[in-house]
Structure 1
Amino acid sequence: MKAQRELSRKQPGSNNRARARREVARVHARITDRRRDHLHQVSTGLVRENQTVVIEDLQVRGMLANHSLACALGDASWSQFRTMLEYEAAWCGREVIVIDRGFPSSKTCPACGRLTAKKPLHVRTWACAGCNTTHVRDVNAAKNIKVAGLVASACGAGVRPQRETSRTGQSARKQEPSTARPKENPGLQDEE
């Protein structure tokens, strides 16, 4: 980045270096704000459009060890995205299902269910030996994660959990006046 290069050329302890350091901090703050805004828009859109969102529990720290992917993964802010997604879902009364990281999502054929051997990351497409279906790795993983999420929501908690009450104890929904009439007690009927 240009501001970072200019900072490295300034004399340590000078006013120009302090000014350049503030400029670098301002640029980094702007990048952080843009990233946070984008993640907020994506998480809000996903939660508003879907009743249930299924994600995979990724081990981001282990993925960052791959130096060719580390920069892109660091910019993606996966943990911040997950936090925002869970917060938005709780606020809107939606459900977020997290699939275990050990689930073989990219190695399982969604057509026949056959499990294949571990593949290196550069293999983007593969054909199932059981049913001869060709799969794109990421699309296949998304299909398998969706199916696992549907199974988890059918076997686990309700698909539509109720929204929690606010701090005041009042329900967050608008309360309509009740039109139901109380039941009459048959033992207290008027006799004429």
Structure 2
Amino acid sequence: MKARFRYRFYPTCQQQQSLAQLFGCVRVVWNDSLALCKQSEKKPSSAQLQKVVITQAKKTEERAWLSEVSNIPLQQSVTDERSSFQELFQLLQRKAERS
């Protein structure tokens, strides 16, 4: 039998601001990597996407604020976006095989 726990989190005002900033940055990175995947014919790897939408984006003036948060959630966002694309294509392929 597996144990299940429920937790409730009550962030302070400062923590709420930090979380909002982090989630906003993750959202922007996700959207940028999604747009890049849609534009390119060949699917870029996760490392290539991270290089473009995180590393190179931090060097521009319009995305310099990405440096204010940790890299790990940003990298995880790109990885999650990439895996969701792979799962979608696998699902579409299975449906096509059934037809």
**Larger relative contact order (Cα-Cα within 8 Å, sequence gap ≥ 6):** 2
Provide the TM-score with structure 2 as the length reference.
Answer: 0.45
TM-score between both structures, scaled by the size of structure 1: 0.27
Q: Which has the higher helix share?
A: 2
Q: Determine which structure has more spread, i.e. the larger CA radius of gyration.
A: 1
